[in-house]
Every structure is written in C-alpha cells, then in structure tokens.
Amino acid sequence: MRLRLRQAVALRRLVLTGPAAGRGRGRRAGGAPTRGRGMAAAAGAAGGLRLVDASPGAAGAEGFKFGPWDIAPTEVFARTERSFAFVNLKPVVPGHVLVSPVRVVPRFAELEGAEVADMWLLAQRVGRELEAHHAATSLTLTVQDGPQAGQTVPHVHIHVLPRRAGDFQNNDEIYDAIDAASEGQAAAAAGKPLDLDEERKPRTREEMAAEAAELRELFAV
C-alpha cells in the first residue's frame, strides 16, 4: 500500500510540474534563480514554453511579418515556433514591446488554440524578464482586437509594458498613449512624467536593433 501511495504521489508531481521539478528549476547552489540559458531552459520545461534561437542568423529567424510590414530579424529578441517578441517603433514606456503569432492573423478569435496558448506563454515570460530588467514593479498587458478597439495593424499582438509608480499621472491614460503610439500620432500628455519627447518620434533601426540585442541575452537558448 505504501509503495502504491508513493508511486501515485510521484506521478502527480510529474504531471503538475514536469521533468524540470527534479532538476533544481534552474537555481544556483544558494537558491537564487539563474539567468540567461539556465533560466530559459528551466522556465521552458516547467511552463510548456519552448524557446528557439532568436539570433538574427539562426535558422528560421527571417521573414517575420507584422501585418503587411516586414520585421527585421535584428528587431526580434525572443521566439518560439508559433510566436515572436519584438521591440517597438514608438514605445510608450521603457521596455514596451510586442508579442505576436508568427502566422499573420487579424483577429484574436481567428487564432488556433495552440497559437493562443503559445503567444500568452511567451508574453508571460517576456513580461517577467522585462519587469526585472527594467527594475519595474508591475506590468500592463493589453490586446487591441479590431479597429474600434484601437487596433491599427491587422495582426494580433500583445502589448507588454513594464510599469513603475508614477509613470503616468492617471494610470488609465496609458491606454490613450498606446492608442496614440499605434496610430503613429503624438504621445498622450500622460506620458510627460517619463520625460519622453512630446511627439515621441519613431526610433531608428539601429536603436531598435541595439535594444533587441540587449534583450536577446535574457532569452538565450
């Protein structure tokens, strides 16, 4: 009876946590989580996310589309077989990035179940890493699904924004800023506490590539 009970407990642990449960979950000897490759592997095994190499020269790291527009491989910092994360032309806050399915799909309801799960798992991982990287304390994750919701690019995407206390005078004004950035218009007045230029001009390709290269180190596989 005791043997059967132990086997049942072991099986339950395997189902709930996966094989990574017995491998230290990517922690150093002192118990602190590891960064870089170790954390990427541990998080992927435990959470079902399978990152692949997002380096510009890696196999498959080309041909990304965001609606009708091409996304340069140098602007992508994390990806799976179904989803990719890339830097923003006009970020609302430092670390404001986008996560999209690789397949160009205009509306959320048109995604396959596997794409939904993979995209949100990647957004979760990106949010966790960027919140720590930017010394933030919270996250805003939002989807604009359809033109009347403020969507201007016909390709499902999640906005991931690291947040700090006082970054906006009125918290809900961040959504106005996202709308303004998505439309390529002037930044909302609420962005002023961040000391951003009032018009928040689009960044250069070089600036975006530099940010992506820095973030890519957080997702090395």
pLDDT band at 10 (very low <50, low <70, confident <90, very high): very low
Question: Residue 159's beta-bridge partner residues?
Answer: 98, 142
What is residue 47's predicted lDDT score, i.e. its pLDDT?
A: 58
Q: Look up residue 120 and give its two tokens.
A: 């949100």
Is 134 one of the catalytic residues? Answer: no
Top pLDDT among 5 and 102 is at 102
* Plot region of 26 (φ>0 → left; ψ -120 to 50 → alpha; else → beta): left
Instruction: Give me the residue label for tokens 């720590």.
Output: 132
| Average confidence (pLDDT) over 40-54 | 69
Average pLDDT, the chain: 79
Rounded Cα distance, 47 and 117, in Å: 11
Q: What is the 3-state secondary structure (H, E, C) of 100-130?
A: EECCCCCCHHHCCHHHHHHHHHHHHHHHHHH
What is residue 155's predicted lDDT score, i.e. its pLDDT?
A: 98
Largest CA distance in the chain: 71
pLDDT band at 184 (very low <50, low <70, confident <90, very high): low
Residue 49 predicted with pLDDT over 50: yes
- Straight-line distance from the first to the last Cα atom of the chain, in angstroms, rounded to the nearest whole number: 43
Question: Residue 76's beta-bridge partner residues?
Answer: 86
Query: One of 133, 134, 155, 157 is an active-site residue; which one?
Result: 157
153: which residues sit within 8 A by CB, 6+ positions away?
A: 66, 67, 69, 182
- According to DSSP, the β-strands at 76-79 and 97-101 are unpaired
What is residue 197's predicted lDDT score, i.e. its pLDDT?
A: 43
Q: pLDDT tens digits, residue range 103-139?
A: 999 999 999 999 999 999 999 999 999 999 999 999 9
What is residue 201's predicted lDDT score, i.e. its pLDDT?
A: 67
| Average confidence (pLDDT) over 32-60 | 67
Rounded Cα distance, 125 and 146, in Å: 25
Residue 14 predicted with pLDDT over 70: no
Rounded Cα distance, 45 and 25, in Å: 9
Query: Under a CB-based contact definition with an 8 Å cutoff, are residues 67 and 154 in contact?
Result: yes
Q: Look up residue 196 and give its two tokens.
A: 């951003």
What is residue 41's predicted lDDT score, i.e. its pLDDT?
A: 45
pLDDT band at 61 (very low <50, low <70, confident <90, very high): confident
> For the chain, which domains are there?
49-219 (3.30.428.10)
| Average confidence (pLDDT) over 188-210 | 62
